[in-house]
Amino acid sequence: MNNSQIWYIVKCNTGNCKIVPSQEVEDYGVNIIDQWGPFNSQEEAIARRVGLIRSGKCQPQ
């Protein structure tokens, strides 16, 4: 894992949330319903995604 990257959580139109590096966020384009971040590490983004799933804002994969 490369911790020098900035990470985001993006919610796609399917309801699932994915953790993506900043350079890939624009690849999702209009499919993004919601977005959280930036996060300094992938681990931090994973922990936040778990919270989003538990709160019902994201569907588990």
CA distance 53 to 16: 9
pTM for the model stands at 0.87
| Residue 40 belongs to a domain | yes
Domain total in the chain: 1
What is the per-residue pLDDT across 21-60, written as a single tens digit (0 to 9) for each?
Answer: 999 998 888 889 999 999 999 999 999 999 999 999 999 8
Q: Both tokens of residue 10?
A: 């993006």
Q: Which domain holds residue 45?
A: 7-54
| Residue 60 belongs to a domain | no
| Model pLDDT, residue 61 | 79
H helices present in the chain, as ranges: 25-28, 42-54
CA distance 55 to 2: 28
| Residue 12 belongs to a domain | yes
Classify burial at 12, counting beta carbons within 10 Å of its beta carbon; exposed 0-12, middle 13-18, buried 19 or more.
middle
| Residue 61 belongs to a domain | no
- Under 8 Å between Cβ of 58 and 11: yes
